Amino acid sequence: AQDVTTWRVQSHWPASSSSYEDSLVRLKNVIEERTEGRVQLQLFEAGALFKAQETFNAVSRGILQMGTISPGYAQDKMTLAGIASGLPFAFHNVWEAAYFHKNLGFEKMLQEEAAQYGVYWATDKVYPTEMVVKNPINSWEDFTKLKIRSSGALQKFLDDAGASTTYLPGSELYPALDTGVVDGAHWGAAQGAASMSLYEVAKYHVKPALNIAGTDVIIVSQKALDKLSEKDQEIVKQALDEQFWYRTNEYQYQERVALSKAMQEQGVQVNTLPDDVQQRLTEVAQKSWDEEGKRSEKAAEALDKLKTFLGELGYL
């Protein structure tokens, strides 16, 4: 009989999230099939064993063999996390973020930094984060009047830009938006908002995206990886690399479908920010980028690389 290795995999997605099925179950199937069953993944949904914020540490310690996270949950270890989880108003299109990660070597930098903690880093996909609001934003004043539920780096950005932000746990987001405790929020983009029922109580989907980034990451314990045969290690890494392209593309399709469904069935409208609002937000955003660059030499290097790239594209 052949040796079977079973990996415990902690997700940061709830089982109902489309990414749980499309990213994690897909990866499980691919790996199990290609290793001919030698590597089995035992999946746990968000929060079952570890909270999202502790998954990186658990994988780093080798207690979990694999996990999914947002870079933000590994901030204290990964100085590149801030850039990975998305500088606001940097990329305009998803392909740009993909190019930056894969072709310009940002993913390599992330992998090098994660390797210091015994973690193999593989971005699951790049995608936008977009806001939903109860009333459309038609002017700068509309924007600054907003009370937005936010978190992490985006909260700081929105705050600096002049909106009022507040942090509420996900479980209180729906009632808060419903009763008007807050009048805007971001939870992923269209699919995220739909999964949290936000379109029931907030009918305007704001474009453009607050950021576009590698917000979902698959992490593997290097220790666990090393225990596999070289052939199986290669299979796992290959599967992860393919996963990025497959999911990034698929996710854009799913986003579009989710938004169009919300528009048809729930009367959601797209609220495109007026040019002057976009302009002012971009100015505030660019100042916040420099903060991230100060976290380490690596971060400064990544930020330089990013600015050069955006310059090339004519955005700066």
One character per residue 184-203, x = contact with another protein (rule: CB under 8 A): -----------xxx--xx--
Q: Applying CB under 8 A, which part among 59-67, 106-114, 279-287, 306-314 lies near another protein? A: 59-67
Assess whether the previous peptide bond of 71 is cis (omega < 30° from 0).
no
**Interface map 200-239 toward another protein (x if CB under 8 A):** xx--------------------------------------
231/287 with CB nearer another protein: 287
SS (H, E, C) 253-271: HHHHHHHHHHHHHHCCEEE
The verdict on 264 binding another protein (CB under 8 A) reads no
- Residue ranges of alpha helices (H) inside the chain are 18-19, 26-34, 52-60, 81-84, 94-102, 106-115, 140-144, 152-161, 170-179, 190-195, 222-226, 230-266, 275-293, 297-312
Distances (CA, A) of 213 to 8, 67, 80, 128: 27, 19, 12, 6
Closest CA to 153 of 299, 274, 14, 276: 299
Judged by CB under 8 A, which stretch of 30-38, 108-116, 123-131, 159-167 contacts another protein? 159-167
Binders of another protein among residues 284 to 303 (CB under 8 A) are: none
Q: Which stretch binds another protein (CB under 8 A): 87-95, 177-185, 226-234, 304-312?
A: 177-185
- Looking at the Cβ atoms of 77 and 307, the one nearer to another protein is 77
Measured over the CA atoms of residue 286, residue 245, residue 13 and residue 191, the dihedral's sign is: positive
Question: What is each CA distance from 158 to 146, 151, 185, 253, 255, in whole angstroms?
Answer: 10, 10, 11, 28, 23
Size of the site for another protein (CB under 8 A): 53
Minimum distance from residue 314 beta carbon to another protein (Å): 31
Q: Is 32 in the site for another protein (CB under 8 A)?
A: no
Question: If binding is defined by CB under 8 A, does position 170 make contact with another protein?
Answer: yes
State the Cα–Cα distance between residues 73 and 80, nearest whole angstrom.
12
Q: Is residue 131 a contact point for another protein (CB under 8 A)?
A: no
Token readout for 141 is 């004043």
Q: Which of 36, 112, 141, 172 binds another protein (CB under 8 A)?
A: 172
Question: Looking at 72-80, 92-100, 276-284, 304-312, which segment touches another protein (CB under 8 A)?
Answer: 72-80
Single out the residue of 61, 207, 80 nearest to residue 133, CA to CA.
207
User: Near another protein by CB under 8 A, which window of 37-45, 86-94, 135-143, 268-276?
Assistant: 37-45
Residue 2 vs 179, nearer CB to another protein: 179
* Cα angle: 203, vertex 205, 210; to 5 degrees: 145
The span from the CA of 233 to the CA of 134, in Å, is 48
Judged by beta carbon, residue 144 or residue 233, the one nearer another protein is 144
Q: Is 57 in the site for another protein (CB under 8 A)?
A: yes
Told to check if 37 binds another protein by CB under 8 A, we report no
Residues 6+ apart with CB under 8 A from 186: 129, 130, 131, 132, 148, 149, 150, 154, 192, 210
Binds another protein by CB under 8 A, chosen from 7, 8, 31, 89: 8
Which residues are at the interface with another protein (CB under 8 A)?
8, 14-16, 42, 44-45, 47-51, 53-54, 57-58, 61-63, 72, 75-77, 145, 147, 150-153, 155-156, 159, 164-172, 174-176, 178-181, 195-197, 200-201
